[in-house]
Amino acid sequence: MLKEPLQHMWKLAPLRAQVRAGEYIIAQDVQCSSKVVKRFFKGTLEELRTLKNKMDRKDPLLPPWNREFCWYEVIDETKPARIFIDIETVHGEYDTVRQGVEQMISMFKMVYGDEYLWHVADASNASKISFHVVGGPLLHNLYHVGAAVRRFSLWAHENRESCAGLFDNTGAFVVDEAIYTKGRQFRLFGAHKMGSDRVLMSSTPWWEALVNVPGVSMEQLEIDGSAPVSTSSPAKVLFREVNGSYQRVSTIHTVRNHMTYGIPTFLAEVVRWLYRYDPKIQTYELAFNSHYKTWRMPSRSTRCQIAGRKHKSNHVWYTIDAMSQTIHQRCLDEDCAGQVHVLSGCTEWDERLHAVCPYVAQQNSSIVKQQLGLTYGDFLRVQKENGVYIIHSTRPSKAFRPNLIVWKQMPENIVLPCEIAIFFTSDKVYVSLGTLNSWAGDILRVKDFGPQSPEPFYRIVGKITQNQPVPNVVLNSQQREMLTYLSTHES
Ligand SMILES: [Zn+2]
């Protein structure tokens, strides 16, 4: 009579509470009527290998639910973890992606040293390219692994030509950045999904390619120096490069105070879109958190995309980041804390908030009129005052954009070098474009001017939030509104 050596349960939390040092929790796919669910059990490596041997021998005494090798390592966030990576695409060439995997591993070797083992498993077939990679140094936990992968992601996006194999035919990054969350299950080498014949093939046996292994671990902070937490957001959503360094544009912590209530005009359509997505949102509770620089929208809904089900009582809520144009669903449930579900598909962002901001110069009161020859487009005339050539436009200043054509044909009597400015007569905004040193070709654009080139709005916001001097720029009403939210409630 075989005594079942391993405890098994349908729920993860009670099993986690019982797990002892040296034990692993394994999830097994179980066919349950029409869908596949997970059943959990635990054991030491030795117990698990014994069980797998029985499976291979088709031991008739094995429980019926555990006869196929559909095993996943349930990664424990309290334990050290090796780097684990999931690569998947249906829009790529096998050889190219395979090469990308090798490039990725050599990049990690350059960062961490080449003394670490790296293991690759391949579950590709004719329609799907799929690799699992496990190896490298032992990091503090799977969140630190997430930070390592997010750093790599930022590098890869900046150096696409060096790792072209990691971007598929649609331009998408093939590394899944969403897997570094609490309770993550990672399929073992040699295992397959229930109902699929794609096996993770590798020369490395499963027990040598586990993520949680004992040993001395090292820290891996996020690119902005913060401590990593559970998040499914890709690096390009979390961080934005500002003046050569990365800053967090989207926060992943619970919000509490520093709240300003009300719906800003530039979010009105986004809120309407969110209402169509979740009619239980509490529209009038929308509040700006000046600590995280995001809006918080509570909901009475219990439908949670993080857990993939409805909670009994815990409600979800949303954070709206107007600057990075992202909406995250979060959740009050304990198991979902710190995690986010990224809502995609919102097309209602107000682009006026992101209009480029030209610099403003001091307007001189006494402008000496001087006709300077032929101008095109909206410009009626050009005046010269103290060496500054001022182009008059009847348009409002919001028509300003960096690809605006100033001249198609050079005024005849202009003397170079000289200062060029535009005066928008309808709202009396004067914009200095900078010095024109030379000019060749048929057209001259605003962006061809030198050091005073217009700045994207997020750079202006970055300067304000870092208490740097704010440049004298032209802002539209949406941008001014955003700045009032940012400046009235400093944390
Ligand atoms: Zn939840």
Rounded to the nearest angstrom, the distance between the alpha carbon of 338 and the centre of ligand 1 is 10
pLDDT, residue 158, reads: 87
Contact 206, 213 (CB under 8 A): no
Helix axes 477-488, 457-465, angle to 10 degrees: 20
Helix (H, G, I), strand (E, B), or coil: what is residue 389?
Answer: strand
β-pair type (316-321, 287-289): unpaired
DSSP 314: P
All residue ranges of the chain with pLDDT < 50 are 1-5, 250-256, 362-380, 489-491
The amino acid present at 172, given as its one-letter code, is A
Query: In the chain, what is the greatest distance between 2 CA atoms, to the nearest angstrom?
Result: 106
Rounded to the nearest angstrom, the distance between the alpha carbon of 167 and the centre of ligand 1 is 31
pLDDT, residue 99, reads: 94
pLDDT, residue 375, reads: 37
DSSP letters spanning 201-240: B-SS-GGGS-SS--S--B----TTSPPP------HHHHEE
Rounded to the nearest angstrom, the distance between the alpha carbon of 71 and the centre of ligand 1 is 25
Q: What residue ranges do the domains of the chain occupy?
A: 1-68, 77-239, 252-354, 367-448, 457-488
| Domain 77-239, second-level architecture | 2-Layer Sandwich (3.30)
pLDDT, residue 383, reads: 57
pLDDT, residue 258, reads: 61
CA separation for the pair 287, 173 (Å, rounded): 34
Q: Which residue has the tokens 């027990």?
A: 207
Rounded to the nearest angstrom, the distance between the alpha carbon of 339 and the centre of ligand 1 is 8
Contact 136, 111 (CB under 8 A): no
Rounded to the nearest angstrom, the distance between the alpha carbon of 45 and the centre of ligand 1 is 32
pLDDT, residue 7, reads: 52
Rounded to the nearest angstrom, the distance between the alpha carbon of 306 and the centre of ligand 1 is 5
CA separation for the pair 353, 371 (Å, rounded): 36
Contact 321, 434 (CB under 8 A): no
DSSP H/E element including 274? helix 268-277
Rounded to the nearest angstrom, the distance between the alpha carbon of 334 and the centre of ligand 1 is 8
pLDDT, residue 6, reads: 53
Token output for 271: 């809120």
Nearest CA to 181 among 88, 315, 305, 281? 305
Reading phi first (left if > 0) and then psi (alpha if -120 to 50, else beta), residue 195 is in: left
pLDDT, residue 443, reads: 72
pLDDT, residue 303, reads: 94
pLDDT, residue 249, reads: 65
Q: What global pTM score does this model have?
A: 0.54
| Tens of pLDDT, residues 311-355 | 988 899 999 999 999 999 999 888 898 899 999 889 899 988 988
Ion ligand 1 neighbours, Cβ < 5 Å? 304, 306-307, 331, 333, 336
CA separation for the pair 232, 223 (Å, rounded): 16
β-pair type (418-424, 429-436): antiparallel
